[in-house]
Chain A
Amino acid sequence: MTKKKKILKIRDLDISFKTDNGEVKAVRGVDLDLHEGETIAIVGESGSGKSVTTKAVMGILASNGVINKGSIEFTYTDLSKERIAEVTQKYDGVIPEGYAKEEEIKTVDITQQSKKFIQSEIRGRRIAMVFQDPMTSLDPTMTIGKQVMEAMLFHYKIPKKEAYARAVQLLELVGITDAEKRMKNYPHQLSGGMRQRIVIAIALSCDPEILICDEPTTALDVTIQAKILELIKDIQKKKNLSVIYITHDLGVVAKVADFVNVMYAGRIIEKGSVNEIFYGPRHPYTWGLLASLPDVDTAGDELYTIPGTPPNLLKEIKGDAFAPRNPFALKIDEKIAPPMFEITPTHHVASWLAAPNAPKVEMPQDLKARIEKNRKEANW
């Protein structure tokens, strides 16, 4: 694997929300990397901070959200209007390798940029987002065409006719038949699957470099889920997109991701390639997540659940946030939060169990057997 360009680099990101009950520490020191053309997944339960992290990247944190510290470095290609026109026409929106001159490649720290800059230069234009529920995420009173054209007209100031033609192309790209007719439709005239395709078309309308998919398939039927994931994968290949999936569905992760980041209570507690996470998980929380996946063989048995509940983020968390729910917790877990230990250059885990002098703890037997079986099936 050749060294790919790093496109997004988040370091020590710390975000909190001021509420009437106090300060909610939603994200507590997150490091995240995304390379060009790569798909990463952020996995975690509700409230683990996965959505908040990506919202900070988009600059759409709720008004009571504050970035206390940390950086979000984004590297992008800044082309002039003429150069963009050339790229869109000649290369179908994909900037070919070596096309951009050195002075056209820029790196900014999103946390340091003005609202205006993020809105006009980054959000929707270079980093776009696919939302969770297609039934509610399209404006019910605006035609599909207008909604797809809106971002292009805004960011590239192209003539309406051109935007219209591009919108029709986009709809065809995301697999909508009768694209011309659909342009005049309103959201309620389309099915859920179609609406999610429209949402994807909107996200792609400005040829972004990063696509953030926030639970893109949770609200859809299983059969349509697979199709939508295929579609995103396809487009990713065509457009050389970098994709961030936010999900709690490990099935989706296994299907699409190159790298996985497991989040718990505002922190990434394990990260690694998809194989490392699925076949060699090291954090007890990741074990719990994997064990709670339904499996054909476990049919009839009770589904495993991780005991306890996530910590209250209003309170200061001392030591390892997962320790109270962790049957393997060590004494030190109650006092000091574990740092990231390196397992392999790509696989890191924040658990004292991974410390060199920690007692040897094996993952539960059931899970081990299951992983072994899956590994054989996948032939890894």
Chain B
Amino acid sequence: MDKSTIKYILKRLLIAAATLFVIVFVLFMILKLMPGTPFNDEKLTEAQKAAIYAAYGLDKPELEQFYIYITNMLKGDFGISYAIQRNMSVAGLVAPRIGISFSLGIGATLIGTIIGILLGIAAALNRNTIWDSIATIFAVIGVSIPSFVFCLLLLIAFGVKWPVLPVLYNASDPIRSSIIPMVALSMGVIANVARFTRSEMIEVLGSEYIQLAEAKGISYKHLILHHAIRNCLIPMITVLGPIIVGLMTGSMVIEKICGIPGLGSLLVKAIEVRDYNVILAVSFLYSVMYIVVMLVIDILYGIIDPRIRLGKGDRS
């Protein structure tokens, strides 16, 4: 990596840090405005509540609370849970769930992109034929039906009718329990990726450089593999970023349905019981993921596409 690439990455990291700060601040303040408290037990008297508030430092002015939260966060301390597991550290609560959610998201992304790309290419190469129509119909269905509907259908089919897979998440059998949620999650990805690949591929196939390559007399296979696919996959990377992040954050409902102890279900529960620190920590994690994925994709884009290779490629 040369100097300007490093400079570019450093700049991006600084912007990322500033963005994260703003996100945390806004979230923190919004949570304070949210009606209700983590201590909603009706048996608690006002005095008891005040005592609990004082114990957790929640009676201080908001800005001071924020200052304390941020300084602790910089030390790696995300506070403790107020409601879900009272007094347990948030880090301890979140950490074991990260792996579960990530493997689910990554699995769904992989399945979705691979099948989506293949479908998209097949549709573009067999344009205006029955294959193209099938792929298009599939893509429309995939985009318009929410993933939890697929999930329910799959659960009914493979969990109840032909009980080959577990209906609820089973910690002792994570692989088999992940199949249904993973497939359900990947449906939207397949649809999006297939649609994008198809239109991109059609555009590439109509381009002049494909004509020139064809005029060289190389075989169709070589033409598609070496010229068309590469050029159509480069822009693919840009849509993959939001898809990956979307999968990780968007799996909330699926996690809930299948009883997966992941980040999504934790966040939903934390919001229900106003567990401020957990909400903050999980949202923060999502933001970090988003920013990191986008940065990685930008750098990757530069590596794969010679036209925007950062800092290199002096025009002469």
Query: A residues engaging B (CB < 8 A)?
Result: 58, 60, 119-120, 122-125, 128-129, 131-133, 136-142, 150-151, 154-155, 186, 188-189, 199, 202-203, 206
The verdict on B133 contacting chain A, using a C-beta distance below 8 Å, is no
Complex formed: what's the CA distance from A189 to B306 in Å?
10
Instruction: Let me know if A60 and B211 touch, CB within 8 A.
Output: yes
B269 within 8 A of A: no
Contact (A123, B306) CB under 8 Å given A137-B208, A141-B230, A189-B314: no
Interface residue stretch chosen among B162-170, B213-221, B271-279: B213-221
Distance between Cα atoms of A203 and B213 in the complex (Å): 10
Q: A60-B214, A151-B217 are in contact. Are A136 and B313 (CB under 8 A)?
A: no
- Supposing A188-B306, A188-B313 touch, asked if A138 and B212 sit within 8 A by C-beta, the answer is yes
**In the complex, are the beta carbons of A141 and B216 less than 8 A apart?**
no
Contacts of A122 in B (CB 8 A): 217
Binding site for A on B (CB under 8 A): 207-209, 211-220, 222, 226-227, 230-231, 234, 304-307, 313-316
**Is A125 a contact partner of B217 (Cβ separation < 8 A)?**
yes
The one of B211, B217, B315 that contacts A119, using a Cβ cutoff of 8 Å:
B217
A233 to chain B, nearest CB (A): 21
* A124 & B306 in contact (Cβ 8 Å cutoff): no
Cα A74 to Cα B311 in complex, Å, equals 50
B209 touches A136 (CB 8 A): yes
For B314, list chain A residues within 8 Å (CB): 189
What 13 additional pairs, Cβ within 8 angstroms, besides A119-B218, A141-B305?
A: A60-B215, A119-B220, A136-B208, A137-B211, A137-B212, A139-B213, A140-B307, A141-B304, A154-B216, A186-B307, A188-B315, A189-B313, A202-B216
- Can you show 11 pairs from A to B with CB atoms below 8 A apart? A122-B217, A125-B217, A132-B208, A137-B208, A139-B212, A151-B216, A151-B217, A186-B306, A189-B315, A199-B212, A206-B217
Compute how far the CA of A136 lies from the CA of B222 in the bound complex, rounded to whole angstroms. 20
CA distance A138 to B208 in the complex (A): 8
A139 touches B231 (CB 8 A): yes
Whether A150 and B215, one on each chain, are in contact in the complex, defined by CB atoms closer than 8 angstroms, is no
Which residues of chain B are within 8 angstroms of A189 by Cβ–Cβ distance? 313-316
Which residues on B sit within 8 Å (CB–CB) of A206?
217
